[in-house]
Amino acid sequence: MPPVLPDFSNSVKLKYVKLGYQYLVNHILTLTLIPIMIGVFLEVLRLGPEEILKLWNSLHFDLVQILCSAFLIIFIATVYFMSKPRTIYLVDYACFKPPVTCRVPFATFMEHSRLILKNNPKSVEFQMRILERSGLGEETCLPPPIHYIPPKPTMEAARGEAELVIFSAMDALFSKTGLKPKDIDILIVNCSLFSPTPSLSAMVINKYKLRSNIKSFNLSGMGCSAGLISIDLARDLLQVHPNSNAVVVSTEIITPNYYQGNERAMLLPNCLFRMGGAAILLSNRRSERRRAKYRLVHVVRTHKGADDKAYRCVFEEEDKEGKVGISLQKDLMAIAGEALKSNITTMGPLVLPASEQLLFLLTLIGRKIFNPKWKPYIPDFKQAFEHFCIHAGGRAVIDELQKNLQLSTEHVEASRMTLHRFGNTSSSSLWYELNYIESKGRMKRGDRVWQIAFGSGFKCNSAVWKCNRSIKTPVDGPWADCIDRYPVHIPEIVKL
């Protein structure tokens, strides 16, 4: 009877071999320098003090050499510090918590759908199937005008929603940070589908009587990833404007964009999108370093708009009856996967440890030279980040990223629970997720966070933050009254 070979793939010893490899490659410089330094130290001990003094005296220095060397060192240090990018701090942020009067349980949503689409029961049934599999819970919220039968998506109602969401988030940010409106140097507001005149940024300036020389920007039409585009814009502005504060407001106004037609591709957003918004304070002031929560490390943006399919996969248009809606195409997930691949190709070398980069390089060379059928190596991004904030665009988005990045259930917990509690709040969903991690008491000093978002166009944007200090569990915020109930089990299908 031949001996049975052990299953090396599941062997505990193999796990320690992998850990040893990672430690060896990631600390190769340290492990190389230590023996050299020990050797030099032993050689110095062997020489003795008299020989060391004799060696020093044999070196001839004159005043000109010393002054030139000092000048060169000072010049190089000056150039280095002048060219070094300014550090961007995330001082704090605040998320809008919708009032309970805006809550839309499944039963309410389906009752409204049956009354609004009473002439098309197939569309009602389609929405029910989507809602059953959406991953949303019973506490998500829609703005008051959508609660009417039929909905009343007027300009006045849309402005009312914008004021409620944005002003609530701004007031909470002022309260948390002690920031005064006159201290804001840069204001960026992003809202994809509602772009009135005057702009939403002008609305904020008018409400809080901001300075006349404020640098304000209003981003629209950029989808669910616009929040990170706003962060990138704020970073660039803070690099050229020293000693400044920037406030970024991310939201999506639902009122004018609730689709009342029968096209299935356009009914899908009705089931997923909900009220939400966030206000974020960024600063390049050194005085904010101690109290700031995070430091911005990287922002990577990927745009696939040159491809026609990618450009049209999320598209605002009229249906056959002339009703405007957002059409989501079936190949959306495949396009998102390609955008993510391009994004992490750029992000990988910036954040991955040497051990993962070496394995990726060796696999790539092996596929090119030896066998193209070799399975490509997927880098372990868990070596680079402690926390992941994946845009809560829908259950399929989270499932796909968890699979592709080989993440654990805990890594995607914040995204799934945000989708369950608040729904898809568009560009602000990343901040609800970050707040979930903080509310669970998991954010420690030195932890790295990866925010990933997708948006129309088609775009995949990501940002990397490093925690500046261990963060205490917040006593307020959107999760304050329900964090003890989470995480909850979310079944594959909720029968309605």
Catalytic center residues: 224, 303, 387, 391, 420, 424
Strands (DSSP E) found in 394-492: 448-455, 459-467
Q: Is 60 exposed, middle or buried (0-12, 13-18, 19+ CB in 10 A)?
A: exposed
With H, G, I as helix, E, B as strand and everything else as coil, classify residue 170: helix
Length of the chain, in residues: 496
405/436 Cα distance (integer angstroms): 21
Comparing CA positions, the residue from 452, 478, 449 lying closest to residue 466 is: 449
Nearest one of 190, 276, 256 to 477, comparing CA atoms: 276
Which token pair is 480? 């304050």
DSSP code string of 178-229: ---GGG--EEEEE-SS---SS-HHHHHHHHHT--TT-EEEEE-S-GGGHHHH
Please name the helix (run of DSSP H) or strand (run of DSSP E) that holds residue 256, with its range, or none: none
Give the DSSP letter of residue 232.
H
Spatial separation of the C-alpha atoms in residues 41 and 49, rounded to whole Å: 13
Sheet-wide strand order for 186-190:
215-219, 186-190, 245-251, 277-283, 89-95, 294-303, 459-467, 448-455, 387-390
The span from the first CA to the last CA of the chain, in angstroms, equals: 58
Residue 123 burial (CB < 10 Å; 0-12/13-18/19+)? middle
